[in-house]
Structure 1
Amino acid sequence: MSTTKKAYIAGGCFWGMEDLFRTRPGVIDTEVGYQGGENENPTYKNHPGHAEGIEITYDADKTSFREILDFFFRIHNPTTVDQQGNDMGSSYRSAIFFQNEEEKAIAEEVISIVNASGKWDGNVVTTLEPFAPFWQAEPEHQDYLVRNPNGYTCHFLRFEDSFLKKEA
Structure 2
Amino acid sequence: MSKSNTEIATIGGGCFWCVEALLQNLKGVEKVISGYSGGNAPGKPTYREVCSGLTGHAEVVQVSFDPSIIAYKDLLSIFMTSHDPTTLNRQGGDVGTQYRSVIFYHDKDQKQIAEEVLKEMQPYYNDPIVTEISEAQIFYEAEDYHQDYYRNNTEQGYCSAVITPKLAKFRKMHAENLA
Q: Do the two structures share a fold, i.e. TM-score over 0.5?
A: yes
- For 1:44 and 1:51, locate their aligned partners in 2 and report how far apart those are by CA, in whole Å: 10
How many residues in Structure 1 have an aligned counterpart in Structure 2? 160
> Counterpart of 2:35?
33
> Counterpart of 2:45?
42
Structure with greater helix share of residues: 2
Measured after TM superposition, the shift of residue 114 of structure 1 is: 0.4
> Counterpart of 2:84?
77
Q: 1:148 aligns with which of 146, 150, 153?
A: 153
**1:32-74: CA deviations, max 9, x gaps?**
0000001220110113100000000001110111011011111
> Counterpart of 1:105?
112
Q: 2:97 aligns with which of 80, 90, 97?
A: 90
Structure 2 length as normaliser, TM-score?
0.84
Moved more, 49-58 or 141-150: 141-150
- For 1:10 and 1:42, locate their aligned partners in 2 and report how far apart those are by CA, in whole Å: 16
> Counterpart of 1:23?
25
Q: Percent identity?
A: 36
Gaps of 5+ in 2: 175-179
Gaps of 5+ in 1: 162-168
> Counterpart of 1:5?
7
Measured after TM superposition, the shift of residue 125 of structure 1 is: 0.3
Q: Is 1:60 the counterpart of 2:75 in the alignment?
A: no
SS of structure 1 residue aligned to 2:104: strand
Q: Is 1:160 the counterpart of 2:163 in the alignment?
A: no
Measured after TM superposition, the shift of residue 160 of structure 1 is: 2.3
Measured after TM superposition, the shift of residue 100 of structure 1 is: 1.2
Q: Which amino acid aligns with 2:32?
A: T
SS of structure 2 residue aligned to 1:45: helix
Which structure 1 residue ranges, 4+ long, deviate > 3 Å from structure 2? none
**1:7-48: CA deviations, max 9, x gaps?**
000000000100000010100000000000012201101131
Q: Which amino acid aligns with 1:22?
A: Q
Measured after TM superposition, the shift of residue 120 of structure 1 is: 2.0
Q: Over the residues paired in the alignment, what is the CA RMSD in angstroms?
A: 1.8
Q: Which amino acid aligns with 2:8?
A: K
Q: Which amino acid aligns with 2:110?
A: E
**1:66-111: CA deviations, max 9, x gaps?**
0110111111000000000100000000000011111111001000
- For 1:140 and 1:160, locate their aligned partners in 2 and report how far apart those are by CA, in whole Å: 29
Q: 1:134 aligns with which of 135, 139, 142?
A: 139
Structure 1 length as normaliser, TM-score?
0.89
SS of structure 1 residue aligned to 2:81: helix
